[in-house]
Amino acid sequence: MTNNLCKLALQANGTIQPLFFNSTESGHTGLTNPSILIDGKDFYINLRNVQYALYHSEYGQNFQNHWGCLAYLNPEDDITLRTRNFLSNNNFNFKKVDTSKLDVEPLWEFIGLEDGRLVKWDNKLFLCGVRRDTTTNGVGRMELSELQDTGHGFVEIKRYRIEPPKGYTYCEKNWMPILDMPFHFVKWTNPTEVVKVEITTLKSETIVLKEQKLPIHRDLRGGSQVIKYKDYYVAITHEVDLWMNSKNNKDAHYYHRFIVWDKEWNIVNYSDEFKFMNARIEFCCGLAHRDGKFLITFGYQDNTAFLLEMTDDCFESFIGALLLD
């Protein structure tokens, strides 16, 4: 049986709260896939705002939608999937990130920086996510969006579009930024691949590639940032079961798990798979640690965002055998 992480955390003195703001500013559509960053005494939270609704039939119900039980419903006469980002600093007063100085006419139907992870490197604040609207065939590349705090909100001042280390690929996404290693990412988890980005040339190179392979039947895809905990690195990854159901419609289940590496990027432990709240579509973009608690941000059904606090004791109990001394 798949674990429910929110239930486990709440039973061990954790807390959970929704993340939201005035619905008029969001267009009355989804706020999802939040990311959190702790930087000294400061904390930042980003919310992804999408202009569509995720249409999902549970338990085989028939919905009057020709796309089937899993589909994205757009406003009338709009075939795009648009993302805007709203950021808060030390409060929950979210302001739209102003991207107007760098926006150009989109060339693809997925518009905006998707699933941004917050990171601060070289004293600069970035959102790190995938962008697919700069080519006519939707080639996805990881981008770093450099943000400046104006005192009244955040403005995007520069974009860095990163080339993958091994030539052409159609879509690069879900690289996990390593918070204490500027411009380094865990590109792949199983086996672990760490890449370094030369920010002046936007080229990347693989600096760690492990042969170790975990006995997990799904691909371990990126999720949160990679953070330090004691003498280890910790992140949350995601896995997807995607299939065509009996009615020949696309359906999916998302799962997550904790991954723990040592300083040499050997995986020394990993948790059982879990869901946050037992929805089919859940997605984690944020992980932080402060004052004996893990702070985890995740999206629910592409429509809602949550912040979960989980105590160290609960985390270590869930991870199990590894002694995190």
- Distance, in Å, from the CA atom of 277 to the CA atom of 125, rounded to the nearest integer, reads 30
Number of C-alpha atoms within 13 angstroms, CB side, residue 94?
23
- Distance, in Å, from the CA atom of 80 to the CA atom of 107, rounded to the nearest integer, reads 11
Two tokens, residue 65 = 């939608």
End-to-end Cα, the chain, rounded Å? 29
Q: Where are the domains of the chain?
A: 3-319
Could you read off the pLDDT of 44-62 as tens digits, one per residue? 999 999 987 776 665 555 5
- Distance, in Å, from the CA atom of 68 to the CA atom of 53, rounded to the nearest integer, reads 14
- Distance, in Å, from the CA atom of 39 to the CA atom of 198, rounded to the nearest integer, reads 23
Could you read off the pLDDT of 155-182 as tens digits, one per residue? 999 999 999 998 789 999 999 999 999 9
In this predicted structure, which of 19-23, 112-116, 195-199, 268-272 has the lowest mean pLDDT? Answer: 19-23
Pick the CATH number of 3-319 from 1.10.287.810, 3.40.640.10, 3.20.20.140, 2.115.10.20: 2.115.10.20
Q: What is the mean pLDDT of the chain?
A: 91
Q: Which residues contact 70 (CB under 8 A, 6 or more apart)?
A: 54, 55, 56, 57, 249, 250, 251, 252, 280
- Report long-range pairs for 180-183 (Cβ below 8 Å, ≥24 apart): 180/228, 182/121, 182/122, 183/121
Quote the pLDDT of residue 131: 96
Closest CA relative to residue 117, chosen from 91, 147, 90, 137:
147
pLDDT-based confidence at 323, cuts 50/70/90? very low
In this predicted structure, which of 10-14, 168-172, 287-291, 310-314 has the lowest mean pLDDT? Answer: 168-172
Could you read off the pLDDT of 62-93 as tens digits, one per residue? 555 555 566 777 776 777 889 999 999 999 99
> Model pTM?
0.93
Q: Phi and psi (nearest 5°) for 315? A: -60, -50
